[in-house]
Structure 1
Amino acid sequence: MRLLIDDTFATGTYTVPVASGWVSPPAGIAVEVVAGLAVDAIGAGDSALVSPATLSKFHGSHDVVSAVAVIADGVSAIAMRTPVRPDDVDTTPVRLLDVGGAAELLARATLQPFYGIEATGWVRDSQAPEAARAQVVIVEGEEALREPEGGFSEDLSRAWFILTAQPVVTHVLLVPRAGTAATTDIITFLDAVRLEGLARRRQWRPQLADALDIGRDRASVFWTAQRLMMDDGDRRAMLDLLTKGSWGTSRASPLQVRFRDGTGVD
């Protein structure tokens, strides 16, 4: 069985121990850390630590494991950049270049309800004419945590929290519903990876922040606000974001999502 892990700044507690070889995967499990993990790269028999937006395709075949997640509690690595104050922007195309599904969900859920900005298009192609005209640019990962060279930057998880009093679940672990012993092994493996990443956090977090040109204080605030397991409130928050972030799209928010608490099923 394959385990795919989306390689982003936010998933560092999982990706760094795996890439560093601090925890060995179980026999029969092929672990791949993939930057910009796309939904089309995930197979029907794969497990994946990935954006909850992926549930639009896999909610009927995969369960969500509550014990393995990435949750931004008021501080995230997803930001909106504008050349002027956001309240001075009325309508504009929105650039979504090089961002994942959670960033798009969050932008769609907050742009109009919180900022009053009407998106005239959602642009993922840098060559599209709308890309050059966009006054809103969504950025994710280390870029979202750096100070912008000009203009304004807004943490979209803050907007979401003010709107809903909820955190943002940016990554979830999906496992095939037809579970096997390998599924249990994957959950146990990622639990060990998380514990190792947290135990060595003073070693790798400053190094990662320096390597990516993120201020250590800024990175520390981000890590402090992060949680790595979902509770009932986080589950509701994830489903709410899927619903609100899917408005105006061709993909419907999944009506039924089955959660698995650790190695059992809820």
Structure 2
Amino acid sequence: MAQNDPADRRIWDSVDEQLSRGGEAVDARLVGFVRWYQQRASELSSGDANDSSAESDLNRWIAIGSATVVLGLSTAGLPGDAIMKLITALVDVEEVQSTMLKSIDEKATRLLDGPLRTAQLLLREAQRTGPADPRYAAILQQAWERSFDAYGLADSPQSRAVVQMYLGQVSLLLNRREDAAHWLTESYRCAREAVDHMVAGSSDIRVLRSKWSTAASVLYYPVGAVVLARKLGKIHRAQQTQQETRTFVEFVNAVAAATNSLSSGPPVAGLIVEPRGHNVFVVRECRPGVRASGA
């Protein structure tokens, strides 16, 4: 997401306006999460130019989360800018998503080359025609149906989380908010389950309870260990391992942003990847608005 893109600025201005008008109806924790996510978008947009390719991958997930926040919080129809932003973001993330899934799910190819690919092509067609075209809703409905077909092929929590995200996002584009909230909540649940599988599938990861929140945990990944692609029998270089983790974490955060903007329940947590000492980085929960108690 370009740092100075006027369309992006308008989207976040719309978010600010909706949050300020929400008054007591808007949970303070939701406000905290949205502000935190907005700051992440800004930080990634102004990231290290020498790592532009990696940051671009993360920004593609940020773009999905950002556009969904606007649509999710909107109470007076779906803003046109955000509709096209979300469709474009879903189209643009295809390659990053494919690389991410193949690195952590060896069975993902049949999913990516089958109905999910068809759903993505239909989203491209919806992007081309636009909401004013009388065929637009039917094209989106077909994209939803092909995504549901893909759901039956998703064998891992990682793959299920991605497909459920599509079901939720396309439901939102069709203005089916309850369906969108259901599928995005399920996507977040599966995405967090996938993180747990990363831990259970490797003896090189230690799980520690964070001092600042009884509900939070910190996952320690020794750099260079077999983490995301352990089942493929490949040992990734430290930088690649960390980047794959960051990409999956940013996917989780995009789903968290979407879930929080639509769900009436307590906001779910985001995730942060941080360096901790020599050859160690951590993934920890972040609950904006919850004060640390000693971390």
TM-score by shorter chain over 0.5: no
Greater RCO, CA 8 A, separation 6+: 1
TM-score by length of 2: 0.29
Please state which structure has a larger fraction of its residues in helix. Answer: 2
TM-score by length of 1: 0.31
